[in-house]
Structure 1
Amino acid sequence: MTGTAVVHAAAGTPSSDVETATAGTGKLAADAGAAFVLESKGTWWHAGFHMTTATVGPALLTLPYALRGLGWWLGVAALTALAAVTFYCYLLVSRVLDHCEAAGRRHIRFRELAADVLGPQWASYLVLIVQTAINAGVSIGSILLAADCLQIIYTHVAPHGHLKLYHFIIVVAVVLALLSQMPSLHSLRYINFGSLIFSVGYTMLVSAACICAGLSSNAPPKDYSLSSSNSSRTFNAFLSISILASVFGNSILPEIQATLAPPASGKMAKALVLCYSVLSLTFYFPAITGYWAFGNQVRSNVLKSLMPDNGPWLAPTWLLIVAVVLVLLQLIAIALVYSQVAYEMMEAKSADAARGRFSRRNVAPRVALRTAYVAGCAAVAAMLPFFGEIIAVVGAVGYIPLDVVIPLVMYNMAVAAPRGGTRRSPAYLANVAIVVVFAGLGVIGAVASVRKLVINADRFKLFSNGVS
């Protein structure tokens, strides 16, 4: 799709009579993915809701475990540094998008932006492959964790019940298949506002539960020492950094910015401020209270520490159940958001943009393809209940390149170097330094994640009845 076509398709043209003119011709460019799924009607606060759902999720409950591998001061410093760097990188992605829009080329897909700025076609394919792997992984992981939440509630209500994890995966998949028929990312704005409220709610509840647990006589002794082995301490530190990078990950910012009513320039910065305001509240409280309560005995998900398999729960039951319900609800929203890129790609090929969004011609393939996608993700979740361990590797390999390295390279190529007239401007050199550091961290973090996967491989069983 050429620049003029992108601008027109993303400009919020009504889906019932989309006529997207290809630049320089009078022909129609039938791109239903742009016209239907990535319709551009939103405000900056709607984009903020989408950003918050895509960034602030239950993965933050792994933050106490990340601090375990780094210790108090280095852990909090790394958490703060990752927050600052990711905010900076997302802001630069938005500025590159604004820069292209000002030149008459509004991009609504990450892969299109990469192809425009980076040039070679392989750059577009690289972004597409990494983004697709991350988005599918998040969707699968969300289904799995949502089913685990249902199983926790069910086990509490019916301790001797016979339902297995895969039963709850089916329940979650049915709900997602129904909600996935909402036609566009913009149509999820109220769900994502609810997601924002849920994230604040369960993080405050989990933080309160950690304080209760830390003051409980049943809590483990508070030991904040690191591993005595230099090699283990090093691997744990880099694994923690990989976890932090994954927690801050957001692979769909261009698609979120595409939902803004044009002109989009400057609006995404406000959305990022909203997102990171929520993030500062929801990340630090559970990270600090969880690590304080359990020290180096904290499990990879702090909820597992609060609800041990053997022995009583370490906080009031009602509080933990409400927190689990809120986590469950937000996981549904996260799966919906991260599925949108897949839906956009499917509808770009299967739907007819010249017909109405709700015409029989477009509804039938939408229902079939989206339901099939959800069913596929659910099947993988049921088969690989240890998928959380795998997604840690995907995160280490994918999030740092997509969220840090590529944005900085694109900004240097599109904005920093042309504006400064030299490749030695302070902004350019600072970006290069960040790229070098985080590329190295990504490689080492991937090695550490694979090492952990290999160490724990004997616990992994296909179609087992619990999340590892």
Structure 2
Amino acid sequence: MTNDTDHYDSHKVNRDLEQPETAHQISTDSWFQVAFVLTTGINSAYVLGYSGTTMVPLGWIYGVVGLILATLISLYANALIAKLHEFGGKRHIRYRDLAGFIYGKKAYSLTWALQYINLFMINTGYIILAGSALKATYVLFSDEGQLKLPYCIVIAGFVCAMFAVCIPHLSALGIWLGVSTVLSIIYIAVGFALSLKDGLNAPPRDYSIPGTSISKIFTTIGATANLVFAYNTGMLPEIQATIRQPVVKNMMRALYFQFSIGVVPLYLVVFTGYWAYGNSTSAYLLNNVNGPIWVKATANIAAFFQSVVALHIFASPMYEFLDTKYGISGNALALKNLSFRVLVRGGYLAFNTFVSALLPFLGDFMSLTGAISTFPLTFILANHMYLVANGNKLTSIQKLWHWLNVCFFGVMSVAAAIAALRLIAVDSKTYSLFADL
């Protein structure tokens, strides 16, 4: 009887909620499919970089504790955002809509700018990852060096654009989420197994944090941004928009899945990779491992194609914005709709590809993205929006807790941004534009 009442009440509330206009489907996906969307983001090919970009600058103690704390804090912050999805009698299917509803037009524009930066840089990183995987595959079979990294990045960008044309919206991923999961299992299993084999056969490794005292400070701060970048999308309301009713309850199920079962593969490959190679671990783990060429090639190819699928998830808010603005709806194969996707999405990804080839410094992108957008969107805004929305219902201690979070992550965001910009400046001097890393 209780379940029937809850079902009735949820549908009654849904009828009363103001539904926003969108050209994409909403409320069509099960919580399990949404959980796989979230888990795809966590265990994307980025996972092959965290041993080098988080563990090396932080070391064993701070690296392990940092990853676990980032997991718990990220679950908490995302839960705050999820619970505001139906706030004030409206469904907020876009992050900027929620911020604009709570704060006003200026906050709407600022949030959209932060989110655009966040998603643009994540997409850029995915193209770099895909290009790096392609280059790593080429190197396994040829030592001529004719296929440079910038060329591989261009190829990766073209494949991403083709996929974006074929998949009209986030909910249409469907079976591709299953394909993505299989691909993730392949490169994570290979990275874990070969790292474990190398670690068991290798001499003692050096786990000391490299660099001078000054550089250690900046790399440590930058690594904290990578910690939060690993778990957060910066587009939770957009993902939540696709989930079936009851929206909040189902989204919480998806988040619990993401931050429990979903993080296990990440932990396995990150900790094993660092254990096996110490402070010589690279920003792309498959460059460290030793094993049969065909096994490493399979893992690299899997990382390449999984990056293509994962990029589509993080590009979907931009696609939704453009499709809604220009009235692109209906049959996805209609000439108008297909042409629009080819020209507009293709142009967007062409610019992403250009930036990726221009500055292929993957670790620096992760640090800067975490600093200037993941920190503000996931932690600062989440805590402050929840505080504003529920101010009258919170105790003094709860209010103090949220304000402490706002202030702490505000300071961390500024510090991490400075550290990331310094890293980019240093790497820009070391490597030329369109570098073949």
**TM-score over 0.5 for the pair:** yes
CA drift at 1:77: 0.8
Q: Distance in 1 between matches of 2:380 and 2:18?
A: 32
Which amino acid letter does the alignment assign opposite residue 147 of structure 1?
G
CA drift at 1:323: 2.0
Q: Distance in 2 between matches of 1:250 and 1:298?
A: 26
Matched, 1:85 2:76: no
Matched, 1:376 2:376: no
Question: Which consecutive unaligned segments of at least 5 residues does structure 2 have?
Answer: 1-10
Question: What's the % identity of the aligned pairs?
Answer: 27
Tell me the alpha carbon deviations over residues 307-330 of structure 1, each in whole angstroms, 9 at most, x when there is no partner: xxxxxxx33433322221221121
1:51: which partner in 2?
Answer: 38
CA drift at 1:127: 1.1
CA drift at 1:227: 5.1
Q: Distance in 1 between matches of 2:35 and 2:357?
A: 32
Tell me the alpha carbon deviations over residues 284-304 of structure 1, each in whole angstroms, 9 at most, x when there is no partner: 112221221122222233333
Distance change (3 Å), C-alpha of 1:212 and 1:322: same
CA drift at 1:368: 2.0
Q: Distance in 1 between matches of 2:219 and 2:372?
A: 17
Q: Distance in 1 between matches of 2:314 and 2:286?
A: 24
Within the candidate set 235, 240, 263, 1:280 is matched to: 263
Within the candidate set 284, 293, 302, 2:276 is matched to: 293
Which amino acid letter does the alignment assign opposite residue 34 of structure 2?
A
Q: Distance in 1 between matches of 2:364 and 2:244?
A: 39
Within the candidate set 196, 208, 225, 2:193 is matched to: 208
2:124: which partner in 1?
Answer: 140
Aligned length: 423
1:398: which partner in 2?
Answer: 373
Distance change (3 Å), C-alpha of 1:189 and 1:275: farther
Which amino acid letter does the alignment assign opposite residue 401 of structure 1?
P
CA drift at 1:445: 1.7
Matched, 1:347 2:323: yes
* Native 8 Å contact 2:208 2:279 kept in 1: yes
* Structure with the larger helix share: 2
Within the candidate set 375, 395, 401, 1:430 is matched to: 401
* Native 8 Å contact 1:135 1:338 kept in 2: yes
Q: Distance in 2 between matches of 1:158 and 1:45?
A: 42
Which amino acid letter does the alignment assign opposite residue 402 of structure 1?
L
**Secondary structure class of the residue paired with 2:140:** helix
When the two chains are superposed, the root-mean-square deviation of aligned CA atoms in Å is 2.7
CA drift at 1:366: 3.0
CA drift at 1:430: 2.1
Which amino acid letter does the alignment assign opposite residue 180 of structure 1?
A
Distance change (3 Å), C-alpha of 1:368 and 1:454: closer
* Native 8 Å contact 1:199 1:282 kept in 2: no
* Native 8 Å contact 2:125 2:362 kept in 1: yes
CA drift at 1:361: 4.0
CA drift at 1:159: 2.8
CA drift at 1:76: 0.8
TM-score after normalising by structure 2: 0.88
Distance change (3 Å), C-alpha of 1:22 and 1:86: closer
2:64: which partner in 1?
Answer: 76
Greater shift in the superposed pair: 372-381 or 247-256: 372-381
* Native 8 Å contact 1:226 1:296 kept in 2: yes
1:114: which partner in 2?
Answer: 99
Tell me the alpha carbon deviations over residues 374-402 of structure 1, each in whole angstroms, 9 at most, x when there is no partner: 22222222333336534532322211111
CA drift at 1:161: 6.1
Question: Which consecutive unaligned segments of at least 5 residues does structure 1 have?
Answer: 1-7, 13-20, 24-28, 307-313
Distance change (3 Å), C-alpha of 1:168 and 1:451: closer
Greater shift in the superposed pair: 276-285 or 155-164: 155-164
TM-score after normalising by structure 1: 0.83
Paired residues for 1:88-103 under 5 Å: 88-98=76-86, 100=87, 103=88
1:453: which partner in 2?
Answer: 424
Distance change (3 Å), C-alpha of 1:296 and 1:231: same
Which amino acid letter does the alignment assign opposite residue 414 of structure 1?
A
Distance change (3 Å), C-alpha of 1:239 and 1:169: closer
Paired residues for 1:168-247 under 5 Å: 168-181=152-165, 182-217=167-202, 221-226=204-209, 229-247=212-230
